[in-house]
Amino acid sequence: MFASRYRFPLLLAIASASVAAADNWPHWRGADGAGVARDANPPVEWSETKNVKWKVAIDGLGSGSPVVWEDRVFVVTSAAPDGAPSRDREPLDFIVMCLDRANGELLWRRTATTATPADSTHSTNTYASASPTTDGQHVYAHFGSQGTYCYTMDGDPVWGRDLGDMQTRNGFGEGSSPTLAGDKLLVPWDHEGPSYLYALDKRTGETLWRAERDEPTCWATPLVVDTPSGRQVVMNGENFARAYDLETGEELWRCGGQTQRPAASAVAMGDRVFVASGFRGSFLGAFKLDGSGDIGGTSKVLWTRTRDTPDIASPLLSGDRLYFYKAKTGVLTCVDAKTGEPHYTTRTGLQTTYASPVAAGGYVYLSDRSGTTIVIRDSDEYEEVAENNLGETIDATPAPVDNQLFIRGERRLFCIEEGA
């Protein structure tokens, strides 16, 4: 089913499906998980008033990124019953919201559950830090210990699933987002107790398979990649980066070298995948996807880096360029994804970086916790073209779609559009 703006003949229905996915932002890193909107051209300049089509206040606190499907924008949040922001372990409403993309008006709001969080969270984290995801038929919201929920695009509840309670490292809180792949919703469950990767039936919420993981807390999100032998699910981990068979959950390959408590998610290009971490150490590896067993020290490891690698923010892969921050700093590195050779490393002027970089329209958008977004040219040389500020913290990754950029701030959701 397509919106009226997709007026293609019936004979092109299959082609239209791929176009629809490309023109939306259904996942926190975009349709393919790389952080790139290939057909979008959002503005490069804005302020709290310039090029702001609309802005709306969001109750409570949430650092999950907005996702966009055609004329709808979805966000999640957690709030005290009176709508106030809270990081305390007290009863909170866990909320899914759907907004009209044209004007920011609320189309529907559902409280998935009201519960007291099972664990504490970091002072910079929230209890709604996982991003929703959608396939254009349903929207899925994951609140970790507070459950995973499926709604129709009109907000009708379809199913909810409680996978138990997590105990995260040092009480830092939860944050891994789910990933859709075919008929499966992939839910990561790495914590200080028994860890798993779940594949749920997206139609019913029932478990299709569950892969055991000997991993402590990890905040990464699963990446699904196509290979000649089938689809793989690549997950970061403190002990090993690993790949699983999408259909069965069988572990296919693993490689050590990661640092403590990884949070960055993998990105992939062709026959290789890139996995990185940067807390109390530094590691980034390019791995061939056709390996098996432990590939450490083999030719399946194409190249590695042991400096300036990302911690919270995930890498961006745009064409042959791989961008990443040094830990939580604004120091940005761009390397050739094929060889690992650096194009540049530079201090951007950003401060603490949690939001992952995204690319659209020949530019890269870099946001930090001060509310600043620096826009640079997507090229082999560093060239800053604009610096913008919205006056509030940005932890969520922006979503570029068509000629718009959706930015989730600490208090508000912004729609940025040229000439607005």
In the chain the domains, ranked by start, together with CATH numbers, are 10-417 (2.130.10.10)
The confidence score (pLDDT) of residue 18 equals 39
User: Mean pLDDT across the stretch 85-110?
Assistant: 95
Please, are residues 378 and 344 in contact by the beta-carbon 8 Å criterion? no
pTM of the model: 0.93
What the block records as the tokens of 99 is: 């907004």
Q: In this predicted model, what pLDDT tens digit does every residue of 328-352 receive, in sequence order?
A: 999 999 999 999 999 999 999 998 9
Task: Estimate to the nearest angstrom the gap between the alpha carbon of 83 and the chain centroid.
Answer: 25
* 330 phi and psi angles, rounded to 5 deg: -90, 10
User: Mean pLDDT across the stretch 121-150?
Assistant: 96
Which 3 state secondary structure label does DSSP give 234?
strand
What the block records as the tokens of 6 is: 């997709």
Structure confidence at residue 9 as a pLDDT band (50, 70, 90): very low
The confidence score (pLDDT) of residue 12 equals 36
Say how far apart CA 46 and CA 43 lie, in whole Å.
7
User: Mean pLDDT across the stretch 304-318?
Assistant: 96
Query: CA distances (Å), 121 to each of 55, 105, 129, 226, 409, in order?
Result: 27, 31, 10, 35, 19
Q: Is the pLDDT of residue 284 over 80?
A: yes
Query: CA distances (Å), 396 to each of 16, 66, 274, 307, 311, in order?
Result: 30, 8, 22, 25, 15
User: Mean pLDDT across the stretch 116-125?
Assistant: 90
Structure confidence at residue 140 as a pLDDT band (50, 70, 90): very high
* 332 phi and psi angles, rounded to 5 deg: -110, 135
Q: Annotate 138-178 with DSSP letters as a single string.
A: EEEEE-GGG-EEEEETTS-EEEEE-------GGG----PPP
Average pLDDT, the chain: 93
Please, are residues 360 and 36 in contact by the beta-carbon 8 Å criterion? yes
Say how far apart CA 76 and CA 28 lie, in whole Å.
12
Query: CA distances (Å), 380 to each of 52, 320, 383, in order?
Result: 30, 10, 9
Using alpha carbons only, what angle is made at residue 228 by residues 227 and 234, rounded to the nearest 5 degrees? 20
